Amino acid sequence: MTLIEPIDEAALRDAIAEAVAARCTLAIEGGGTKRGLGRPVVADRQLSLARLSGITHYEPHELVLEAGAGTPLAEIEAALAAERQQLAFEPPDLGPLYGAPPGRRTIGGAIACNLSGARRPYAGAARDHVLGIRAVSGRGEAFASGGRVVKNVTGYDMSKLLTGSFGTLAVLSRVTVKVLPRPEAVRTALFPGADAARAAAIFAHAGSGCWEVSAAAFVPGAAAGRSGVDFVATSNGVVALRLEGSREGVMARLRALRNSLATGGATGGATEELHTARSLVFWAEVASGALLPANGAGGDMIWRLSLPPSRGPAAAARIGEILGGEAVFDWSGGLVWLALPGPGSLEAVQGQARRLRSLVEEHEGHATLMRAPEAWREDVPVFQPEAPALARLTRRVKENFDPLGVLNPGRMFEGL
């Protein structure tokens, strides 16, 4: 497959215009770490954004950073760290989930997939931190939206339309994101030996108070055993709550939260605490699916269920009874990573997916197939199938931005 690597936005525009003229389809990639996410793309050419790399504008006092779509996130994170700032949506590194080495992902990839980590319920998703974009649509025309300021309603919010569109409407050339101060202190409280019911009680209690939890996860026994953090690995299942803020504030809040949980009967026995470094490792493991079983060892099908948080534990329990598998809970239960063994035949896989989706829908959620063998991702819808009126609207949006279907054909929905 021909590889095209534009060196600037004009070259990107020309490459797409040329592909449109030649009726050639394009597979779009940043660092190429998430090729396994979405439906398999069969395209005539590969379009890499790797050379649209570099931070083009960073003003710490304005809390804004702009970079080429192909800029490695590692570079951005290092620049932010030097100013004691961060991307508050904590984009997870999904590379290893698909067999790529860690640290290769790009800002464009994180935005195109709307990937957010543990802080999402409290600080917003990737889409909430994108202030502006520059992109080239499937018409071979460059356009911009948004800007460098946080408060902006000038024109339609095309940044949100493109965030999470998996390169199917336009190819990002540059993104502007909001950045935020890094908290002075971080502590993660661990409550070992928990089961799903206890986790649900802890989430509910922690959410009802004023402790400002910034992450809440439940990792059951087997998954906890895969952690590189010793307290977690030996915990036989753990509920984790993270607090961030000023040094004195975090300590005082942590004490109050622990006491309240113990008094309320939600926890008992010993608790542990992760400080900054190990806290970082643990939350990255949760957000990147690293605690799930490997391919061939029960992790043939990895699903990501998005649910109203209070319904996560109950939904997962019901799914477990019917389909088996292993679950890890993030976002106070609003995000369930589910690993299912592949049931063998394609028909069985399709049946399993249908059953799973109907169970998730009963709980007002939706399911995305995050990892599965390529053949299955072709025939099992990766994204939740849309109701007919919405599917027609999605098709019209695609047709307006990419009328010939040259960009990442079929990545999100079959035939789109």
Partner 1 sequence: MEMPAPDQRTLSRRREIARALRRLLPPDAVIDRAAELSAYESDGLTAYRQTPLITVLPANRDEVAAVLRYCAEEGIKIVPRGAGTSLSGGALPLADGITLGLARLKGISGIDLANRTVTCGPGTTNLAISEAVAADGYYYAPDPSSQVACTIGGNVAENAGGVHCLKYGLTTNNLLGLELVLMGGEAVRLGGKRLDAAGLDLLGAVTGSEGLLGVITEVTVRVLRKPECAAAFLAGFGAVEDAARCVGSVIAAGIIPAGMEMMDGPAIRAAEDFIGAGYPTDAEALLIIEADGPAPEVAAASARIEEIVRACGATSFRASASEAERLAFWAGRKAAFPAVGRITPDYYCMDGTIPRGSLPRVLARISELAAHYRLAVANVFHAGDGNLHPLILYDANAPGELERAESLGADILRLCVEVGGVLTGEHGVGVEKRDLMAEVFSDDDLKHQQRLKCAFDPDGLLNPGKVFPTLHRCAELGRLHVHAGRLPHPDIERF
**In the range 303-332, which residues lie near partner 1 by CB under 8 A?**
306-311, 331
By CB atoms closer than 10 A (0-12, 13-18, 19+), residue 28 is: buried
Distances (CA, A) of 270 to 70, 216, 220, 277: 46, 18, 17, 21
- Find out whether 357 and 384 touch, Cβ atoms under 8 Å: yes
Of 148, 226, 258, 318, the residue at the interface with partner 1 (CB under 8 A) is 148
Q: Is 121 in the site for partner 1 (CB under 8 A)?
A: yes
Q: Which is nearer to partner 1, 274 or 416 (CB)?
A: 416
User: Tokens standing for 65?
Assistant: 């950073």
Of 64, 238, 240, 316, the residue at the interface with partner 1 (CB under 8 A) is 64
Of 140, 192, 293, 342, the residue at the interface with partner 1 (CB under 8 A) is 140
CB of 345 to partner 1, least distance (A): 27
Between CA 284 and CA 369 the distance in angstroms is 20
Interaction pattern, residues 349-388, with partner 1; x per rule: CB under 8 A = ---------------xxx-x--------------xx-xx-
Q: Is 87 in the site for partner 1 (CB under 8 A)?
A: no
Q: Is 81 in the site for partner 1 (CB under 8 A)?
A: no
Of 35, 127, 258, 318, the residue at the interface with partner 1 (CB under 8 A) is 127
Q: Is the dihedral of CA 364, 368, 369, 371 positive or negative?
A: negative
Q: Which is nearer to partner 1, 120 or 377 (CB)?
A: 120
Q: Which stretch binds partner 1 (CB under 8 A): 27-35, 103-111, 136-144, 372-380?
A: 136-144
By CB atoms closer than 10 A (0-12, 13-18, 19+), residue 268 is: exposed
Q: DSSP letters of 266-301?
A: S--S--EEE-HHHHHHHHHHHHTTTTSPPTTTT-SE
Is beta strand 142-146 parallel, antiparallel or unpaired with respect to 130-137? Answer: antiparallel
Q: Which is nearer to partner 1, 84 or 354 (CB)?
A: 84
User: Residue 283's closest CA among 341, 244, 252?
Assistant: 244
- Find out whether 199 and 267 touch, Cβ atoms under 8 Å: no
Q: DSSP letters of 149-214?
A: SSS--SS--HHHHHTTSTTSSEEEEEEEEE-EEPPSEEEEEEEES--HHHHHHHHHHHHHSSS-EE
Q: Which stretch binds partner 1 (CB under 8 A): 74-82, 115-123, 226-234, 320-328?
A: 115-123
Please list the helix, strand and coil fractions of the chain in percent, rounded to the nearest 5, in that order.
35, 25, 40
**CA angle at residue 412 from 410 to 415, to 5 degrees?**
35
Q: Is 44 in the site for partner 1 (CB under 8 A)?
A: no
CB of 234 to partner 1, least distance (A): 31
224-243 binders of partner 1 (CB under 8 A): none
Q: Which is nearer to partner 1, 4 or 290 (CB)?
A: 4
- Find out whether 375 and 346 touch, Cβ atoms under 8 Å: yes
User: Residue 335's closest CA among 130, 117, 176?
Assistant: 117
Of 22, 42, 78, 348, the residue at the interface with partner 1 (CB under 8 A) is 22
Of 25, 114, 235, 352, the residue at the interface with partner 1 (CB under 8 A) is 114
**Farthest CA pair distance, the chain:** 69
Describe the crossing of helices 196-208 and 312-323 by its angle, rounded to 10 degrees: 170
Q: Which stretch binds partner 1 (CB under 8 A): 25-33, 112-120, 269-277, 286-294?
A: 112-120
Q: Is 338 in the site for partner 1 (CB under 8 A)?
A: no
Interaction pattern, residues 181-220, with partner 1; x per rule: CB under 8 A = xx-x-------------------x--xxxxxx--------
Q: Is 403 in the site for partner 1 (CB under 8 A)?
A: yes
Q: Which is nearer to partner 1, 364 or 374 (CB)?
A: 364
272-301 binders of partner 1 (CB under 8 A): none
Of 41, 217, 290, 335, the residue at the interface with partner 1 (CB under 8 A) is 335
Q: Which is nearer to partner 1, 7 or 297 (CB)?
A: 7
